[in-house]
Amino acid sequence: MPRSIIAGTGGYLPARSLTNDELAAAYNLDTSDAWIAERTGIRRRHMAAPGESTADMAAAACREALAQAGADASEVDAIILATATPDSAFPSTATRVQEKLGIHQGFAFDISAACTGFIYAVGVADSMIRAGACRSALVIGAEAFTRILDWTDRGTCVLFGDGAGAVLLRATDEPGERGILSTHLHSDGRHGDILQVEGGLVRMAGREVFRHAVSKLASAVDEALAANGLAKADVQWLVPHQANLRIIDAMGRKLGLPSERVVVTVDRHANTSAASIPLALAEATRDGRVAAGDLVLMEAIGGGLTWGAALARF
């Protein structure tokens, strides 16, 4: 049975980048760099330009992933795009990416699982490759979150940024340990109202989300390790959803990982929702931190509530 390997990674961030103080001044917010950084670890974020779509950002990330993999768009037969900010109800943003990349074969669709969307998309793509439904898949997280923020609510509007990340999953029949080991997906709709889009804008009960985050993420991580007969000490890298530095630090401590083994981008990117894990992964593979043979743990929690974890050997 084939398994899927991560053949390439890619990321894209819009050109415009605002510090906390610049954001406060631009939107007349009663906040400061110290207030935001102390509570979240965020120092700046990127914002999509007028007319720059979710599909534009996703396509740019895909081109980088294809280039790193040494692949041509003609070999891609599936595009699975996780986003909470699609360009339209339909057609899907994934099909718009398909058109932008000049791909005329295969299939493309969106997944909506908020900040956990990339983990969900990896799970779906990996399952389809294992089942023989496709041989290669672009798996994307892309968000234009700054377009659905209430700029009068400093509790949420300072948290998010825009961007896109992508990986190319490729089927292999060769023996070895490299590839997606497993994915573990969960949701509980009873808690859907603590993080949602209402009236077109993001609404969040921050303390409630934080209360659920560490326990649910820890459970998913334990599940992933147990499923593969692995221990916490086997993990070389944690690539978490970049929502809040306190949550990231807590998960690193639970795994017993030193801070230099936890990939952190939240300080520069803020929370890019479904894009945060693939953006962080692209950065860590390009600067040489994540190398061949490394065991990488990815985890996320988001609106739904949704949460999950994935283990991959590079």
How many Cβ atoms sit within 10 Å of the Cβ of residue 287? Answer: 9
In contact, 249 and 238? CB cutoff 8 Å: no
Strand partners, 297: 238, 311
* Whole-number CA gyration radius for the chain: 18
Is 115 assigned a catalytic role? yes
The DSSP-derived string for 26-47 is: HTT-S--HHHHHHHH---EEEE
The active-site residue, picked from 115, 157, 191, 244, is 115
Q: Phi-psi category of 51—alpha, beta or left, where left has phi over 0 and alpha has psi -120 to 50? A: left
Q: Which of 157, 241, 244, 269 is labelled catalytic?
A: 241
Burial of 73 (0-12, 13-18, 19+ CB in 10 A): middle
* Phi-psi sector, 252: left (phi>0), alpha (psi -120 to 50), beta: alpha
- Locus of tokens 């590839």: 179
Active site residues: 115, 241, 271
